[in-house]
Chain A
């Protein structure tokens, strides 16, 4: 084994900045990262073992214990539950003979929960040894487990038909569906990739490109909405040895899956956008940082990059422009939502724990390896190509004044046509619900757990940066759903799991508030609890990153828009009840020491 570890470390030139790749390779080849492996690589990388371990312990898909020859990661987003996750879980547990969180004694099968894997439009879904299984049924689960027990290879396990569009390609062969329901400038087929690099860039200076981007008024598609042109300009002006272009494909916000579809159907457009950005900022190198859940796309995306190199769209003196050298590599994450935050992403890219950095300095000044770096969303890069192709002015005719262009929405939940919709900004929620065939809607979660939960009296609101801002996630909940129990608690637990733990506000307050919410759900709530929840949520504001600052949003926005759901559960006759129960709290210790609890009831 030691030789394998050595080979892997050497493959990455014993560069500690590539620790993520090294750990991913070891995890995949050995099934876990052993103590010996840690010792070997720490010595080779000239790092302390503790430094290696703290990176390992940060990421969900790394493990220091074997996770089984077949490792099942079953998505636990609310939409997965809505579409029968419970039955799937049971089927796995029953046929494998172990509960979730464990590995069978023979080391064959491991069952684990995982946060949203970006398949909300085809739930319940699971990842088994990097292969995505969608629309699972208990019957299918039993079949899969039976094949595992027979030791069948993954190719046989996934013998179902493949998904639509490019999911059929030999290098992809995935059963994932793209579910494109509506096309706009990005998803349309009327653009031949490479046109901008070959025909436009030779006629434009980098400053021209930035000017067009600024003129288009495009804002970042990841959710925060920073003006892209301005970001590129800042980066171009910043001094540094090298300039980097990073594409954020971490897409961890539960309910979002549009980046997966863009990368499946239009990867060339994204890579062309990155090269274009490289030209604009004077960039040397691009990195696609993509979540590990999308590992099944690895060969496919690498093939696309190779094709583009062969066609002269990446490489040296691209399109005959002297000194325009730009290439892209792919970096996988390893399961950490917070790595979608740009500075946490940079940390991860440097092989460290994905903890957000203090800002300023911003990445445009000091980013990857301390150099000026732009980090944009997949969709932003894809859009940039169409902007430079047609001009900033052309772009402004789509959308509204403050939100120009189109937005790709990931729509899931209680509707007839879940999937990906590219719409012009300025749509209102009602239009959207009509479009996707959603009736009897109780609530819509706009923008994932960190966004807003709205009810019918707000469905007239407009999607755009000035009103309902969204990175694209839309989850629809019908009248039959229990919003607090099935949605809000799920989202709070998501934040608890995904908090990096750096700020005490986010590390603790999420727990405290969730405990209070659960107490209310258990019928122990009093009026003061609602006041506390609202007040205490403010404690999260000074957290270092967006995750912490928005981690109370599931409670805050449901409390604001669905207050009656909370009030119905409160005890009317009490003004204090912390839900403490003496009898149940002494049970465990009395059992252990072997005594019968006695209570003096005064």
Chain B
């Protein structure tokens, strides 16, 4: 049997969930024995080259590119997992959701106290740039998500256990310490 294929991405996240994935320490050696990585910042494969079994999504969607990537993950992965607070709830980036996008842009590029050099009030509007969404969306509000791994970031052991469970098909242990957050 060929090895299960995994893909990962960080959308509107801070890469903290990916750092937590690396935090499985030497087990990463076991992991690469068990699975094969496809599109992921870990191996720097930019586009899907084959069908993927498990896609791990860090971060929610704050712009059109995030939406595009997320949709391509849904298309290419059998199972999608929202990894961490931002993917599940929008997280810190979603703090802007209560503020109109116009005000956010104005603060960032024109009115903010640290804006010194933009005398002409230029706004980033090149067609190459992703378009900002009106608010930050959690992933499950855009595509169907199969599993959710909570945490900011989810602990390395939790990610490890979840991957092992998905790969082996065994039920996952979820002791109290794993699901309580204060």
**Interface positions of A (Cβ within 8 A of B):** 575-576, 578, 580, 582, 585-590, 592-595, 597-600
Contact = CB atoms under 8 A, between A and B. Distances in A.
A580 B141 CA distance: 7
25 contacts: A578-B140, A578-B141, A580-B67, A586-B64, A586-B131, A586-B133, A587-B134, A588-B134, A589-B101, A589-B102, A589-B105, A589-B131, A589-B132, A592-B101, A592-B102, A593-B105, A593-B123, A593-B124, A593-B125, A594-B125, A595-B126, A597-B131, A598-B127, A599-B64, A600-B68
A585 B133 contact: yes
B113 interface: no
B18 to A, nearest CB: 25
B37 interface: no
B73 interface: no
Contacts of A589: 101-102, 105, 131-134
Given A594-B123, A598-B127, A588 B64 contact: no
Contacts of B105: 589, 592-593
B142 interface: yes
Nearest to B102: A592
Q: Which of A587, A589, A595 counts the most chain B CB atoms within 10 A?
A: A589
B78 interface: no
Contacts of A575: 144
A582 B130 CA distance: 12
B175 interface: no
A594 B105 CA distance: 12
A282 to B, nearest CB: 43
Secondary structure of the B side of the interface?
A: mixed
A207 B179 CA distance: 52
B141 to A, nearest CB: 4
Interface string B39-75: 0000000000000000000000000100110000000
A587 B67 CA distance: 15
Given A588-B101, A589-B105, A589-B133, A582 B64 contact: yes
A30 B82 CA distance: 53
B99 to A, nearest CB: 12
Interface in B106-143: 123-127, 131-135, 137, 140-143
Given A580-B141, A588-B101, A589-B105, A595 B127 contact: yes
Contacts of A600: 68
Given A582-B64, A582-B67, A600-B68, A592 B123 contact: yes
B60 to A, nearest CB: 12
Nearest to A590: B131
A590 B142 CA distance: 20
B47 to A, nearest CB: 13
B100 interface: yes
A133 B85 CA distance: 50
A591 to B, nearest CB: 8
Nearest to A577: B144
A588 B131 CA distance: 10
A578 B142 CA distance: 6
Contacts of B102: 588-589, 592
A599 B127 CA distance: 10
A221 B127 CA distance: 65
B159 to A, nearest CB: 25
B134 A585 contact: yes
A305 to B, nearest CB: 45
A33 B102 CA distance: 30
Given A586-B134, A589-B101, A594-B123, 12 more contacts: A575-B144, A582-B64, A582-B67, A585-B135, A585-B137, A586-B64, A587-B134, A589-B131, A589-B134, A592-B102, A592-B105, A593-B105
B135 to A, nearest CB: 8
B124 A580 contact: no
B166 to A, nearest CB: 20
Nearest to B63: A586
Contacts of A595: 125-127, 131
Contacts of A590: 131
Q: Which of A576, A592, A599 counts the most chain B CB atoms within 10 A?
A: A592
Contacts of B68: 600
Nearest to B67: A582
Nearest to B89: A508
A582 B65 CA distance: 11
Contacts of B64: 582, 586, 599
Contacts of A580: 67, 137, 141-142
Contact of B100 (A578, A588, A599): A588
Contacts of B137: 580, 585
Nearest to B100: A588
A352 to B, nearest CB: 25
A589 B67 CA distance: 15
Nearest to A594: B125
Nearest to B122: A593
A580 B137 CA distance: 9
Q: Which of B124, B131, B137, B140 counts the most chain A CB atoms within 10 A?
A: B131
Contacts of B133: 585-586, 589
Contacts of A593: 105, 123-125
A595 B144 CA distance: 30
A598 B105 CA distance: 20
Nearest to B71: A602
Contacts of B67: 580, 582
